[in-house]
Amino acid sequence: MPKILFVLALALALPAVALAAQPAQPGKSAPKVQYVLKGTLTSFTASTGGADGSIALTITNANRHRAALKDQPLTLLIKPTTRVVLDTDGELTAGETVIVKVRELRRTTDALALLNGKDARQVIDQGS
């Protein structure tokens, strides 16, 4: 009788262990969103010769997490693949208004720490 109970208990426990140990499904990743940030340019270094550049700005408006990002400084990387659209003067100088697009994980807390140091996808010069 004890052997039957042991076998029965083992038979009931094995499917539960097998279900709990399943690996994560392939192809599933955390969702990413596009942050559109508008701000005043502090500094800009273009990407040259395959080396990364950088852009520093003070955020004045954003499409996500507006309250947390307003009036905060942010520095992003400019990769050789980053699209830079210049205004009529043809250069980015400090004090100009820029729009920067960044694609990154969707988070509800500490968006500034999440974005700082990430790759900018597009920089649009709005002029002064």
Question: Do residues 82 and 118 make contact, with C-beta atoms less than 8 angstroms apart?
Answer: no
Q: What pLDDT is attached to residue 39?
A: 95
37: in domain: yes
107: in domain: yes
45: in domain: yes
In the chain, the amino acid numbered 109 is T
Residue 78 belongs to what domain range? 32-127
Q: What pLDDT is attached to residue 123?
A: 94
Instruction: Retrieve residue 63's tokens.
Output: 């499409």
90: in domain: yes
SS (H, E, C) the chain: CHHHHHHHHHHHHHHHHHHHCCCCCCCCCCCEEEEEEEEEEEEEECCCCCCCEEEEEEEEEECCCHHHHCCCEEEEEECCCCEEECCCCCCCCCCCEEEEEEEEECCCCCHHHHHCCCECCEEEEEEC
> Domain of 87: which CATH number?
2.40.50.120
14: in domain: no
94: in domain: yes
Q: Please tell me the total count of domains within the chain.
A: 1
pLDDT tens digits along 25-80: 676 777 888 999 999 999 999 988 889 999 999 999 998 777 788 899 999 999 99
State yes or no: pLDDT of 3 exceeds 70: yes
State yes or no: pLDDT of 18 exceeds 60: no
Residue 74 pairs with which residues in a beta bridge?
57
122: in domain: yes
24: in domain: no
